[in-house]
Structure 1
Amino acid sequence: MEEAPPNFGAELKDAFKPVNAWVTNGISWMTDVEEFYRERSVIEKEYAAKLSQLAKRFFEKKAKKTASLSVGDTPLMTPGSLESASMTTWNSLLTTTEITSQEHDKLATEMVAKCAETLRVLNSRYESFRIQHEKFEKHLTTDRDAQYSELRKTKASYDATCKELEGKRVKVEKAFDHGRPKAQKSYEAQMAEMHNIKNTYLITLNVTNAIKEKYYHGDIPDVLSSLQDLNETRVQAMNTVWKLSCDMESASRIRCSDHMKNLAAEVERNLPHLDSLMFIAHNQPQDGWREPPDFYFEPSPIWHDTDDIVVDDAAKVWLQNKISKSQTGLVSYRTEVEKRRKDVDSMRAKREKVRGSSENAEGRTTAEEMEILRNLLNGQEELAAVDMKRVALEVEVDTVRQACGDIDKNAHSHKFKSASFKIPTSCDLCHEKIWGLSAKGMTCKDCGFNCHANCEMKVPANCPGPLDKSAKKALKDVRQSKAGSISISSDKLSELSTPASNGSSSHGMNRSNTVTSVSTTSTANLDRSATVKSTATTSTAASSTTKAAPTRRVLAPPPTKYIAELPAAEVKPDGPKGKMLYGYTATGDGEISVGEGKEVVIVEPDDGGWTKIRNGLAEGVVPTSYIEQLSASSPSKAASSPISATPDSRRESIIGKKKGPVVAPKRGAKRLVHVQAVYDYKARTDDEFDMAEGDKFVLIAEDDGSGWAEVEKNGVKKMVPANYVEKA
């Protein structure tokens, strides 16, 4: 029974480095064989030259002695021939020596041309092909490590989200009754975000395991088998060179034919796979190869969770969109994989056919086989890249279906495309504005559904299909009306909420719906006292409850594109006039910089050595000693001033701490940074400031990349567009 040939891919598995090093050594060894034939050629050349010189010298001697040796020094008659039989034999011997020198010269030339040069070309060809294997393996390893890195990043993102969720849960526990609904809403939103990131982590986990299995059981074995083919082809090529050398030696030196035949017999016994068998015997582990263990879900140290896929309503919407995108790409990848696999199988069949037909061929050339092997490796590389994407998408689909079933059975996904909005447009999902002119949003080509790019995966797959312009407009009106009713209902619900009802909603503050550990904080500690001291306090709590969370937009609108001038009703009335005796530069919160001789409007009279004035549209306080009042102040105007109508507590927060004209800050104190509005701006939410050009604020936090800066004015902190202000 014929012994089955060895297979590196099946028996060595993850052993590219030792196999590659072994094949490299074999290719490098060809250089030694090439050097042997070159040096042997030099020796043969030298021997041929010496034989030729020897024959020439003795031919000259023979010419001088032929007559004397044949007929004597003084012959009586001229013979018909001057050579005797002995000289003719001697001439034949010298001629044979000359021919022998020519045979050695010819042998030397053939050794360089047919052996040394052939080995040099093969060495370069095999080394180039081996380097291609090395690049292919590095590419496979890079893709595998990139997937491992993606898994680590997803895990880190999951841990960070869990940590942030824990922080929001703690805020809910510590929140007072009037702030608890807002904290609870933020907590629930973070919970949904955590679920999505967790699902991404679990999906990535399965994808990584699948790619890891494909790497160790498919890609690397194919590369190892190809390296084995390369090495065996190299051995066969060297056998061909050695046989050619033997034939030349036999033809040139008949007397050494027996030795050359023995060498040829030894070459014939050097089967290519015998080296492979010995290498396998010395490189195979004693206890066999062990596959690396699979990756598994690691719960966050902050958020003690399980490895169950989250399947609540919000998560199902996200998963439904996820599986829809995966299935769209899966169809094309499967077709591409099948096509490339057929090409690879065809190349393998050609390789076997060529190797079988030329197994015993004399003077076998490897050019055709090398071309087939090169095409086979290229096909395997392309197949591996496409098949990895197919495996990832199939695992994503299977993971979601195992958790949710045929979640995509009746789904009608939106056909979203990136879109830019030249005017402020509301997201049809979260009803917030979509800002920016660089494709910050998405629009469904069929029904016209608009949303943020971050909201795309959260949109339910309920697209009604292609609609005309009128139908899209009608559907848009319905969505906007629903958004308005939801906003009104939310406001009413916030106004009707009581401390008791707030305390009873603690069931939503669980760390996760898959938590396995018990929270260390008792639910009873979530309640807060609901004592109402006054009607004003109650109204203040209700208004703070209904405030919307500050919106963080990436890009503020252009200065003059959408901001209209303030209506006449919003222009502040003038008060008593004053004149600056000295120029003053603001050094603290609520102050204003004014030049010497500037006429200003007195908004509020002297209070502790400071007077509040208005210079153009900007307001602030300056030392009273810096101002000369030009006319007597009117009580009615003072009463109608927006600042004088402010409660005493707020007024004290603005200028109550100013005790005199000394305005320099204390030595070593932190210097406040002031910013000045360079454009008018009308606030769109309660968390934004109205601004007029020239207004000054104290900078609390610079732009963090969202396009907004946090500032303070009159003791109140709010947001303004970062590109609407500059440092004063």
Structure 2
Amino acid sequence: MSSEISIGDEIKDGFKETFKWVQNNLKWLSELEAFYRERAKLEKEYSGKLAHLTSEYFGKKSAFTVMLSVGDTPTTTPGSLEAASLVAWNEILSQTEKMSQDHNQLAQEFEFQVGDQLVALSRKCELLASTINGSNNALVEKRDKAYSGLEKAKKLYDEKCTQMESARAKQTKSSSDRTQRKADDREHEMNIAKNQYLVKINQANRIKDKYYFQDVPEVLDLLQDLNESRTRSLKTIWATASSVEREMCKRIEARLSTADSVVAQNKPSLDSTMFVKHNLKDWKEPADFQYVPSSVWHDDEQFSVSSGAELQDLRVRLAKAQQTYDQMHGFATSELEDLSSLNKQRQGVRAQENANGEQALALLSKYARSLTSYTSHESSKLEALVEIESIQNNVPEEHDLSTDGIDLDKLGKKSGVFNRFKKSLTISSDKKSVAEDTGDMSSAISSESKGRQSHHGLSFLRGRSRAKTNDSSFSANTGGDANNSVEQTDSTKNAVLYDYQKQDDDEASVSVGDGFSVLTLDTGSGWTKIRNESTGETGLVPSTYIEVREKPRTNAPRAPPPRKSAASRTVQAIYGYEAEEEGELSIQTGDSINVLRDDDGSGWTFGEVRGVKGLFPTSYCK
């Protein structure tokens, strides 16, 4: 792929139009093949029919100019402009028209050295396009499966809510122990269904983010690579045709030199640049999925753990998620090594303007196959990670989430040993979390590239970071063997392990020895937002380049809307508090504060005083 532009970065969710554009260009190869086959015949008949042929193909080129240059449905028409490949092709036709007196000995060379090569190139490109299309279908299927799972979980939750309401109605009519037990059972089932629904919401949101910010751009870049590799191979074929003509007909040397000069200017990225320019469109990310309470059971989005039944269900789900995470992590780690090696080779091809098109296509074929398998395992790993996060971060601390004693074999599931996970993850009331997540990818690659390739590097590093103040306790493993890389003079002071020079406006530069504070922890993107205390600069740095040792401040969560049936009450401030962030509320000793939303376990309460609303520390009031 070109280092000048990336379709995956520029056009979001544009697989359909991009794939159609690439198909148009692949079909165009058959037109070129037909041209050279016909020309080989016409060479025997000399100038008259050769002139007629070039005139015919001028018309064909004109008919397909818009589709080949900017696709079938451009947002901006190109006017009289043509893609660089078409300009080169136009020049070849013009020079061919002047070669009407060339003798017919070119016929055999055109048949074997041009026509057959175009057929082979077309077949290879079409096979790779089919592979990429299959990869995209798999990604869409994975996304839609997450959406479908969310819909089923919502439907189940609504059904359980209805059953609960029915059981409660029967209880009001009969106070027997049996009706009471049935009502309790229905409530447990409803709570379990609700918890599953909340997990599915988080999973669908995370899969949605991964699809639009990582998977789709990667597939689009593969299509771009395919089209640009096709152009490279086409340049080689055109050069071969020119060489044959020079050897067989010295009289047309000047004309072919002119054609070559135009073909040489046909950089693989020029067609992509024109396509992007005429297909830019406004695009908004689809909204996140939100919790929707049942119409018959009004409740908020908090996890329900009102009895041992819900807690046991969560512990079983946690154990299963741990096992899945461990398995998928092993698969993805192995596949990531292959992708890293192949991606390094891709970088080398991109850096060579005259790289061999055949080798580029072969490399892309290997990369596409590896990517399909890797993204599937990574998505499964992400779902498991989100489920672990969701349960860890939403179950009150007084509940024991330890998975010790849960035998998944007895539950009828496939046997799987997650010893590594048990060693690295102890889930208890203090909610410690794994030191590995979807940032593994950036961890493996950043040590090789020493920095993020912002727009044109490893495109699978992209992906939106859902870095919210209290979104997750999971963070990328930034420790590693850092003890061997930097002297730890203070076990509580953050350390820079490697120098990093920023490559984007939202990044920050750091050097070994700089002090920094953490603004937003890494939540799976492979990047941490910091403030460089040595330079005053704020921004993102690779998580593997730093070691975070400080205990982060418990930030106030984003202010939630009032509950539907929240009862009005007030509390009195026993200590003063000065707001430190937007969304917080300053209070003074003795203030009477109207509570709009009770503490949800975060240590913060949402209230109003003197007409101002915000979050304040719960422990500062009584």
Same fold? TM cut 0.5: yes
Q: Distance in 1 between matches of 2:128 and 2:408?
A: 45
Distance 1:157 1:143 in 2: 21
Choose the corresponding residue for 1:192, options 178, 188, 194. 188
Q: How far off its partner does 1:14 sit?
A: 0.8
2:135 and 2:41 map into 1 onto residues whose CA distance is: 41
Deviation sequence 1:170-204 (CA, Å, 0-9, x none): 111122x5xx3211110011000110011000001
Q: What are the within-5 Å matches in structure 2 for residues 111-190 of structure 1?
A: 111-175=110-174, 177=175, 180-190=176-186
* Shift in alpha-carbon separation, 1:109–1:269, aligned structure 2, 3 A: same
Cα distance in structure 1, aligned partners of 2:221 and 2:414: 48
Provide the residue aligned with 1:244 in structure 2. 240
Counterpart of 2:289 in structure 1 is 295
Q: How does 1:75-474 map to 2 (within 5 A)?
A: 104-175=103-174, 177=175, 180-285=176-281, 288-314=282-308, 315-356=310-351, 359-360=353-354, 364=356, 366-404=357-395, 410-418=402-410
1:19-69 Cα distance to aligned partner (Å, 9 max, x none) = 00000001111111111111111111234999xxxxxxxxxxxxxxxxxxx
Tell me the secondary structure at the aligned position of residue 311 of structure 1.
Answer: coil
TM-score normalized with structure 2 length:
0.56
Mapped to 2, the partners of 1:102 and 1:39 lie a distance apart of 16
Q: CA deviation at 1:338?
A: 2.2
CA drift of 1:404 comes to 2.1
Tell me which residue corresponds to 1:80. Answer: none
8 Å CA contact 2:161–2:296 kept in 1: the answer is yes
> How far off its partner does 1:251 sit?
2.4
Aligned partner of 1:528 in structure 2 is none
* Structure 2, gaps ≥5 residues long: 50-98, 418-561, 567-622
Distance in 1 between residues matched to 2:200 and 2:31, nearest whole Å: 50
Structure 1's 516 and 101: CA in aligned 2 closer, same or farther, altered over 3 A? closer
- The residue type equivalent to 2:190 in the other structure is M
Offset at 1:410?
Answer: 4.6
CA drift of 1:280 comes to: 0.3
Deviations 1:537-570 (A, max 9, x none): xxxxxxxxxxxxxxxxxxxxxxxxxxxxxxxxxx
Separation in structure 2 between the aligned mates of residue 19 and residue 385 of structure 1, nearest angstrom: 22
Of 268-277 and 309-318, the range deviating more from structure 2? 309-318
Aligned residues: 370
User: How far apart are the structure 2 equivalents of 1:222 and 1:380?
Assistant: 9
Paired AA for residue 319 in structure 1: L
Task: Read off the aligned partner of 2:165 and give its amino acid letter.
Answer: E
CA–CA distance in 1 between the matches of 2:328 and 2:197? 23
Name the SS for the 2:409 alignment partner: strand
Q: Report the AA paired with residue 382 of structure 2.
A: V
Determine the structure 1 residue equivalent to 2:553: none
Percent identity for Structure 1 against Structure 2: 30
What is the CA–CA distance in structure 1 between the aligned matches of 2:132 and 2:324, rounded to whole Å? 29
Per-residue deviation, residues 445-478 of structure 1 (Å, max 9, x unmatched): 9xxxxxxxxxxxxxxxxxxxxxxxxxxxxxxxxx
Q: 1:411 to 1:256 in 2, by over 3 A?
A: closer
Q: Which amino acid aligns with 2:358?
A: A
Q: CA deviation at 1:328?
A: 2.3
Greater displacement, 289-298 / 398-407: 398-407
Alpha-carbon distance, 1:307 to partner: 0.7
Report if the CA contact (8 A) 1:196-1:318 is conserved: yes
Q: What whole-Å deviation, never above 9, does each CA across 1:295-339 have from its counterpart, x for those lacking one?
A: 011111121121111122322222122112211222232232222
Give CA-to-partner distance per residue, 1:472-513, whole Å, 9 cap, x none.
Answer: xxxxxxxxxxxxxxxxxxxxxxxxxxxxxxxxxxxxxxxxxx
What SS does the corresponding residue of 1:417 show, helix, strand or coil?
Answer: coil
Flag the 1:169–1:263 CA change in 2: closer, same or farther, 3 A: same
- 2 CA distance for matches of 1:516 and 1:184? 27
For 2:343 and 2:400, how far apart are their aligned partners in 1? 40
Q: Classify 1:254/1:311 alpha carbon distance in 2 versus 1 (closer, same or farther; 3 Å).
A: same
How many Å separate the matches in 1 of 2:319 and 2:123? 50
Provide the C-alpha distance between the structure 1 equivalents of 2:247 and 2:414, rounded to a whole number of angstroms. Answer: 81
| Alpha-carbon separation, structure 2, partners of 1:316 and 1:49 | 87
Instruction: Report the Cα offset of residue 354 of structure 1.
Output: 4.1
State whether residues 320 and 408 of structure 2, in contact with CA within 8 Å, keep that contact through their aligned partners in structure 1: no
What is the Cα deviation at residue 278 of structure 1?
0.4
Q: Is the Cα–Cα contact under 8 Å of residues 324 and 408 in structure 1 kept in the other structure?
A: no
> CA 1:442–1:193 in structure 2 vs 1: closer, same or farther (change >3 Å)?
farther
1:46 is paired with a residue whose SS is coil
Q: Which of these two proteins has the greater Rg computed from alpha carbons?
A: 1
- Quick check: 1:9–1:221 contact (8 Å CA) kept in 2? yes
Structure 1 residue runs without a partner (length 5+)? 51-99, 420-438, 446-513, 519-728
Distance 1:408 1:213 in 2: 31
1:61-102 Cα distance to aligned partner (Å, 9 max, x none): xxxxxxxxxxxxxxxxxxxxxxxxxxxxxxxxxxxxxxx999
AA in 2 matched with 1:252: M
How many Å separate the matches in 2 of 1:9 and 1:226? 9
Q: How far, CA to CA, are the matches of 2:367 and 2:120 in structure 1?
A: 21
Letter matched to residue 317 of structure 2: K
Q: Are the aligned partners of 1:304 and 1:515 in contact in 2 as well (CA < 8 Å)? A: no
1:40 touches 1:108 (CA, 8 Å); kept in 2? yes
Structure-2 change in CA distance of 1:384 and 1:258 (3 Å): same
Kindly state the Cα deviation for residue 261 of structure 1 after the two structures are TM-superposed: 1.0
After superposition, what is the alpha-carbon deviation per residue over 1:421-459, rounded to whole angstroms, capped at 9, x for unaligned?
Answer: xxxxxxxxxxxxxxxxxx8x999x9xxxxxxxxxxxxxx
Tell me, yes or no, if the aligned pair for 1:168 and 1:183 is still in contact at 8 Å. Answer: yes
Which whole-Å CA distance do the structure 2 matches of 1:249 and 1:442 have between them? 66
Counterpart amino acid of residue 302 in structure 2: D
Secondary structure (helix, strand or coil) at the match of 1:343 reads helix
Residue 43 of structure 1 corresponds to 42
CA RMSD of aligned residues (A): 3.1
1:338-394 C-alpha deviation (Å, 9 max, x unpaired) = 22222111101112324545x447xx4x33322211110111111110001110011
State the one-letter code of the partner of 1:206: N
Relative distance call for 1:249 and 1:301 in structure 2 (3 A) is: same
Contact 1:151/1:205 (8 A) holds in 2: yes
Contact 1:323–1:408 (Cα < 8 Å) also in 2: no
| Structure 2 Cα separation of the partners of residues 299 and 187 of structure 1 | 20
C-alpha spacing 1:277/1:442, structure 2 compared with 1 (3 Å)? closer
Distance 1:107 1:338 in 2: 54
CA contact (8 A) 1:334 1:390 kept: yes
Kindly tell me: are residues 144 and 360 of structure 1, through their superposed partners in 2, closer, same or farther at Cα, counting changes over 3 Å? closer
Amino acid in structure 2 at the alignment position of 1:290: K
**Which residue in 2 is equivalent to 1:24?**
23
